[in-house]
Amino acid sequence: MLKIERHNLIDREIRKAGYVLVPDLSEKLQCSEETVRRDLKEMEKAGMLVRTHGGAYLVEKYDKGYPIELRKSFLQHTKERLAEVAVREIHENDVVMLDSSTTCLAIAEAILTQELNITLVTNSLMVCNLFSAANSGVNLICVGGTFRRRTMSFADPNTVEALRRYYVDCAFVSCPKANVEFGLSDNHISEANVRRQMLRNAQRRVLVVDHTKLEGNANILFDGLEKISLIITDQRLPEAFEAYAAEKGIEVRVCQE
Q: What are phi and psi of 97, to 5 degrees?
A: -110, 140
Residue 17 and residue 105 in one domain: no
Q: Is residue 66 part of a domain?
A: no
pLDDT in tens, 16-37: 777 788 888 888 888 998 898 8
**CATH code, 46:** 1.10.10.10
Please state, in angstroms and rounded to a whole number, the distance separating the CA atoms of residues 203 and 112: 23
Domain count, the chain: 2
Residue 54 and residue 86 in one domain: no
Provide the 3-class DSSP secondary structure of residue 138. coil
Note the pLDDT of residue 243: 95
Residues of the chain with pLDDT under 50: 62
Q: Is residue 127 part of a domain?
A: yes
Please state, in angstroms and rounded to a whole number, the distance separating the CA atoms of residues 206 and 66: 22
Residue 53 and residue 180 in one domain: no
Residue 34 and residue 139 in one domain: no
Please state, in angstroms and rounded to a whole number, the distance separating the CA atoms of residues 254 and 257: 10
**CATH code, 155:** 3.40.50.1360
Residue 202 and residue 107 in one domain: yes
Helices 76-86, 102-114: crossing angle, 10 deg rounding: 50
Q: Is residue 196 part of a domain?
A: yes
Alpha-carbon distances, residue 60 vs 39, 90, 94, 100, 188 (angstroms): 21, 36, 37, 18, 11
pLDDT in tens, 143-159: 999 999 888 999 999 99
Please state, in angstroms and rounded to a whole number, the distance separating the CA atoms of residues 103 and 174: 7
Note the pLDDT of residue 15: 83
Q: Is residue 149 part of a domain?
A: yes
Q: Is residue 80 part of a domain?
A: yes
Note the pLDDT of residue 90: 97
pTM, rounded to two decimals? 0.78
Note the pLDDT of residue 164: 97
Residue 97 and residue 159 in one domain: yes
Q: Is residue 67 part of a domain?
A: no
Residue 165 and residue 85 in one domain: yes
Note the pLDDT of residue 72: 61
Note the pLDDT of residue 139: 96
Range of the domain at 49: 3-59
Please state, in angstroms and rounded to a whole number, the distance separating the CA atoms of residues 146 and 160: 11
